Structure 1
């Protein structure tokens, strides 16, 4: 009986991961409650419940133990958080699973992050930029030196954009190095270094070390503090192209965030070549996409439509789990550095003044890119409002 139970638990865990992969989930949440166990998948950025049979609650501890065994974690330790990795093979595809286990009130909670290369787009044309932004972005990452920053909240696709940029520029004539926390995907031809805080290997330490490896292009996973920011500025001043990310809401706030960290404005204005804010919106499902005549009174006031313009939405079908959406696309706000913007940075002007100057130079805001994608039938007004609120 015990062997049969063990076999069924092994099968169950495999099925949970397999279903998540087939549904294109980015994360699996296994959540213990007093009288039941919940399993949820994050699909296209939104958590969705998976049906869980009532008897599964009895196997909750065994399911968690099985996941911990796969991730090489200590199954006897239930008092402290643990992190591990699982390599999972699905139909010849290697899926990398990052596992986080945390003790909770009614048992251990698990979140598994699925890293599936087949589901991630690492080429520039597939990011979904408009033609003008695409051309400007390509020009910026082809520059020999300077700092370019991608900004946005967690889960906005910043790392994917940087990986696509590295894939576009990597070649036998360039040495490309990255410092990441953690390394999410291995890129061919790129030397990637994982941050390891436990042994004191920080972004700043890694960056200073790789500058001795004669790089042409450096990617830093995230600029979190003055030390890393200073090292990045130094790298740009000494003739390297530096790509990194920041947590700011818009492109114009990136230089201000560096100033807030303690970087001198003149250093930012002399090294920064541009910044790009981004968000991910869900795409309308192509299988159940229908057009409709919108009630203009209920549309956002800044969404401009011509008379007779229709909008699109998904009615819901098995292809999109009845959500009306399948897959995601980026919204982009690309600010290219200019003399006028540099002057504003040196004056420590607030970001709204930088936006005003940048708009005179052709800056298109996230929301404007969103409305363009709404008019083209790629996404819905609700998605754009949700992603650009605040």
Structure 2
């Protein structure tokens, strides 16, 4: 499989037609020109890792890529044999550019990893010279004993080692092709049974469709980048921990990169081997990418496509949200930055609403990256990177997440002051953040934040309509069975007077119904389902000024009076009560005490 992928990412010739010709004859040429490397001394072999066989000599690969003619290839071989110089240097003398050399090396794939204790020893240098005389262009890389052990760990001997070294070649080719297109990021997403690679170009994510990878192949690719390419990294590779690394630009010659910053770690589903790697590509000053023809070839090799869009439709309307509420939330989800807070007690459906919002967002903007931080993960999201962390590590995890180039971040819940501050900082740095908070009223979000820290989260600090852009309050209410529910005059127990008096201020009570005794239709439960009742608040400069000047009560009252604002949750609940779909007792128990309408 990896060998197939490697062929897909080989550098084509200067013209697409020639590239196609090369692809069709690649297999036969590899078979006929295959090169077996000489064996190292027995005492050295435990301390190195190298490919037993190569597709062809350096000069033959250069000839196949149309970088050299047959006569030039022969001259290259002779010049190297006579001078003892490195074949790459002689190739440059014959007119190959640095990019040409790197393209040959990517196909040639002769990476040798050496324990640092044996690097540069006479025995190694003698063997390296023998390898070069055989027609190879080895790239000798110094690694620690631990890193060498990691590279060996899951490979076994013989062909399996060769396959993993091909994975390193694949990793370099991927980075090189992305650099040609001046991509800013590479995202490798290891799912339960497959791996997806996405690259960000000009701000948008694109899926690399040139191949399909199994989960274990994606794991090997991530490990190869981290242990085989990274020049600054932790001493050991820990699959179950988030780790940073960096690839120095010198390790990727000919790409125009000054460095590649890496974050990798576990992601949902962790128990099935889920993980991720995000590589951020940083370029040298004035780097403008490759020539147009090379960029076209690189794009063809990667076969970039729009990421898969989740199926279905926006279901908030089916869940009980009104058309106005759906419209207001849709507006919020289109905003590029700011915090959207879903409020309500435990069991009020906040997580389900967030799931629907992020799924709809993925339909609208499949090219954007969502990263979630939850404890625990509740809904699988194929369109996101889902991370899990303990509460005490939340701020640290969020800071790490912001280094992973997200467009939007979903935070399971704000529980403490550090989480609240980190959430606001994420919005202030240009990200959209969706989260939840346990408060009973959306406008009390601000009071709750101030209570966490009245200095760092003072009202005049948090009351900013460009930071907190939306509030969504929600409750779940039971819907009456239409078969056995009864009118008020037939209720087994009359409603209390205070409730009846308040209800009369809302309108005609002739359609109001209460729970019956149950029937076959509802399986004796007296209810047939549930739905949400909500209030959606899109913040404004005036609302925030009211919070600062006059407090929560005045800000709430003034906002609800403004044209286009949503009604309170209890008002939406009363619409259901007057329609005979919600029992008044359930409305009061699930939402709030029924007030006199004029007192809202």
| TM norm. shorter chain > 0.5 | yes
Count, aligned residues: 267
User: Contact 1:122–1:163 at 8 Å: present in 2 too?
Assistant: no
Partner of 1:259: 450
Separation in structure 1 between the aligned mates of residue 557 and residue 507 of structure 2, nearest angstrom = 26
Gap change, CA 1:381 and 1:308, over 3 Å in 2: closer
Pick from 553, 557, 561 the counterpart of residue 356 of structure 1.
557
1:42 aligns with none
Alpha-carbon distance in structure 1 between the residues aligned to 2:591 and 2:377? 28
Give the distance between the partners of 1:308 and 1:357, measured in 2 at CA: 29
SS, match of residue 168 in structure 1: helix
Partner residue in 2 for 1:110? none
Larger Rg: 2
Query: How many Å apart are 1:184 and its aligned residue?
Result: 0.9
Per-residue displacement from partner, 1:156-203 (whole Å, max 9, x unpaired)?
111111111111101421101111111112122121111235xx5x32
In 1, the alpha carbon distance for the partners of 2:396 and 2:315 equals 30
1:282 paired to 2:475: no
| 1:250 counterpart SS class | coil
Aligned twin of 1:179: 373
Match of 2:397 in 1: 206
Contact 1:275 / 1:334 at 8 angstroms: preserved in 2? yes
Q: Structure 1 288/144 Cα, relative in aligned 2: closer, same or farther at 3 Å? A: same
Match of 1:269 among 440, 458, 463: 463
Tell me: CA distance 1:211–1:156, structure 2 relative to 1, closer, same or farther (3 Å).
Answer: same
Q: Give SS of 1:302's match.
A: helix
Matched residues in 2 for 1:204 and 1:370: separation?
Answer: 37
Q: Could you tell me which residue of structure 2 aligns to residue 17 of structure 1? A: none
Q: Within 5 A, what are the aligned runs for 1:1-390?
A: 123-171=315-363, 172-196=366-390, 202-262=393-453, 263-270=457-464, 271-289=467-485, 298=497, 299-303=499-503, 304=505, 306-307=507-508, 309-315=510-516, 316-347=518-549, 349-361=550-562, 362-389=565-592
Identify the structure with the greater strand proportion: 1
- Which structure has more helix as a fraction of its residues? 2
Q: In structure 2, how many angstroms separate the alpha carbons of the residues matched to 1:170 and 1:293?
A: 49
Asked if the contact 1:250/1:333 (under 8 Å) is kept, the reply is no
Give the conservation status (yes or no) of the 8 Å contact 1:293–1:309: no
Structure ranking higher on relative contact order (CA contacts 8 Å, 6+ apart): 1
Aligned to 1:83: none
Displaced runs of 4+ in structure 1, greater than 6 A? 294-297
Unaligned runs of 5+ in 2: 1-270, 272-312, 594-600
Partners of 1:206 and 1:273 in 2: CA distance = 23
Q: CA deviation at 1:319?
A: 4.3
Residue by residue over 1:68-122, the C-alpha shift from the partner in whole angstroms, topping out at 9 and shown as x without a partner, is: xxxxxxxxxxxxxxxxxxx9xxxxxxxxxxxxxxxxxxxxxxxxxxxxxxxxx98
* Contact 2:349/2:476 (8 A) holds in 1: yes
Contact 1:123–1:167 (8 Å) recurs in 2 = no
Q: In 2 relative to 1, CA 190–254 (structure 1 residues): closer, same or farther, beyond 3 Å?
A: same
Q: Judging changes above 3 Å, is the alpha-carbon distance between structure 1 residues 124 and 310 closer, same or farther for their aligned structure 2 residues?
A: closer
Instruction: Tell me, in whole angstroms, the C-alpha distance in 2 between the residues paired with 1:345 and 1:136.
Output: 21
